[in-house]
Amino acid sequence: MNSSLFFTEEHEMLRRSVREFVERELVPHAEEWEAEGMFPDWVFRRLGELGFLGLHFPEEYGGGGGDYFTNIVLMEELAKCGSFGVNTGVAVQIGMATPPILAFGTEEQKQRYLVPAIRGEKIACLGITEPGAGSDVAAVKTYAERVPSGWKVNGNKIFITNGYRADFMTLLARTDREKKGYKGMSLFLVDTDTPGYIVSRKLEKVGQWSSDTAEIYFQDMVIPEDALLGEEGRGFYNIMWELQGERLIVAVAVIAIAEVTLQQAIEYGRERTQFGKPIVKNQAIAHRVADLATELEAAKSLTYITAWRYDRGEYPVKEISMAKLLATQVAFRVCDEAMQFMGGYGYMMEYPAQRAWRDMRVSRIGGGTDEIMREIIATSLGLYA
């Protein structure tokens, strides 16, 4: 696809700037962060100093005032740092936990949470998933009860990216037990140093080791009245809006990671000789690479076009679901095939193919599983009418 359809010279200047930062300040540490199981907080601060955490936010809050494709540039270049966990942590900061603040927050909330998040001075996490409420967001049980001093919250969240070290959480909780399903939910902004906010444990995962993931408990946690984000009772609708941006940024990130992984496999195939010639010149391998490159380009085209519509204020839920479904499935297939091309070496920890394969798997779960994406698409097509 001709990138000039979507990217201007300003985008390309940004790309060069991000790439230089990634190569100079992130790549040298990727292995270390994987081994330690967490990338350091200074990455957020440095990204904030460089203006990379606010590319798509208004200038009045310290952002760059750019279009959605500035975020795409950032995600595509971060994919080259060698640690997908960095992409995930940053994606939560810029595309998941903070957009609801801009969309639904008061001016005071924007100044208190959004501005420092853009600067990288506060790290954000998003509290939706619970042990009994993942794909079924309407099953959320964490309850925020009105009390004289504000809201008393009790409940449990799990699989929370950035949750181990976050300064604040954008929290979805039930505020009316009389209303069932998606009704009676609200959003809140919660400081993680609030008494009763308990980081229970840092979770061990198959992949994305450098991205911290936590389980959180709320035990009689009292938050002020002005912690409410947006209108009371509109939390489900507002978080469904947020999920569209989340799914789109996931599609962008996985395609970028898959492109890097496929290129690494091609380079390996040019150097690895079997039966008297480089394995990439084996027709069975070459044709499979051709198929994967074609699938990646198709997924990228759908994602770019959908992002273009989203950037112009449309709400293309069906196409976003399609992009997320296609991108994550193709990207995982690319990583799986890359390991296959490399044979035993691809399975060794010293080669990056295994990391991409491990890291990529969760993309078909987080932000909406394959099954949920298909359900949304099927409903949009009127198949259940």
Q: Give domain status of residue 385, yes or no.
A: no
Do residues 218 and 307 share a domain? no
For the residues 339-346, what does the mean pLDDT come to?
A: 92
Do residues 47 and 71 share a domain? yes
Q: Per-residue pLDDT tens for 220-234?
A: 999 999 999 999 999
pLDDT at 36 over 90: yes
| Residue that wins the pLDDT comparison between 127 and 183 | 127
Q: Last residue of some domain: 123, 144, 165? A: 123
Catalytically active residues, by annotation: 246
**Structural domain count of the chain:** 3
pLDDT at 180 over 90: no
Do residues 76 and 42 share a domain? yes
Helix (H, G, I), strand (E, B) or coil at 26: helix
Q: Give domain status of residue 32, yes or no.
A: yes
Q: How many CB atoms lie within 10 A of CB 148?
A: 7
Q: Give domain status of residue 97, yes or no.
A: yes
pLDDT at 112 over 60: yes
Distances (CA, A) of 66 to 63, 94, 113, 164, 245: 8, 13, 20, 30, 16
Angle value at C-alpha 214, between 210 and 216, nearest 5 degrees:
160
Burial label, 13 (beta-carbon count in 10 A; 0-12, 13-18, 19+): exposed
Q: Which residues lie below 8 Å from residue 78, measured CB to CB, with a gap of 6+?
A: 18, 22, 26, 86, 87, 90, 253, 256
Q: Per-residue pLDDT tens for 266-275?
A: 999 999 888 9
**What whole-number distance in Å separates Cα of residue 275 and Cα of residue 272?**
10
Q: Last residue of some domain: 233, 248, 283? A: 233
Region class of 208: left (phi > 0), else alpha (psi between -120 and 50), else beta: left
Q: How many CB atoms lie within 10 A of CB 187?
A: 29
pLDDT at 2 over 60: no
Do residues 309 and 374 share a domain? yes
Q: Give domain status of residue 94, yes or no.
A: yes
Helix (H, G, I), strand (E, B) or coil at 14: helix
pLDDT at 4 over 90: no
Q: Per-residue pLDDT tens for 132-147?
A: 988 889 899 999 999 9
Do residues 259 and 362 share a domain? yes
Domain that holds residue 222: 125-233
Question: Phi then psi for 288, rounded to 5 degrees?
Answer: -70, -40
pLDDT at 344 over 80: yes
pLDDT at 50 over 90: yes
Helices (H), 3-41: 9-21, 30-36
Do residues 189 and 266 share a domain? no
Question: Phi then psi for 180, rounded to 5 degrees?
Answer: -100, 165
- SS percent in the chain: helix, strand, coil, step 5: 55, 15, 30
| CATH number for the domain harbouring residue 289 | 1.20.140.10
Q: Per-residue pLDDT tens for 290-312?
A: 999 999 999 999 999 999 999 99
What mean pLDDT is reported for the chain? 95
Q: Give domain status of residue 195, yes or no.
A: yes
First-to-last C-alpha distance (Å) of the chain:
36
Buried-exposed string 220-237: b where 16+ CB fall within 10 A, e elsewhere = ebbbeeebbbbebebbbe
Q: Give domain status of residue 247, yes or no.
A: yes
Per the CB < 8 A criterion, the answer to whether 80 and 260 are in contact is yes
Q: Which residues lie below 8 Å from residue 343, measured CB to CB, with a gap of 6+?
A: none
| CATH number for the domain harbouring residue 74 | 1.10.540.10
The whole-model pTM stands at 0.94
Q: Give domain status of residue 201, yes or no.
A: yes
Burial label, 275 (beta-carbon count in 10 A; 0-12, 13-18, 19+): exposed
Do residues 194 and 290 share a domain? no
For the residues 52-81, what does the mean pLDDT come to?
A: 96
Do residues 348 and 362 share a domain? yes
Do residues 265 and 358 share a domain? yes
Q: How many CB atoms lie within 10 A of CB 28?
A: 11
Do residues 258 and 319 share a domain? yes
Q: Give domain status of residue 358, yes or no.
A: yes
Do residues 76 and 188 share a domain? no
The pLDDT value recorded for residue 161 is 97
pLDDT band at 3; cut points 50, 70, 90: low
| CATH number for the domain harbouring residue 152 | 2.40.110.10
Q: Last residue of some domain: 203, 233, 263? A: 233
At 144, the amino acid letter reads: A
Based on its alpha-carbon atoms, the radius of gyration of the chain, rounded to whole angstroms, reads 21
Do residues 257 and 314 share a domain? yes
For the residues 123-136, what does the mean pLDDT come to?
A: 93
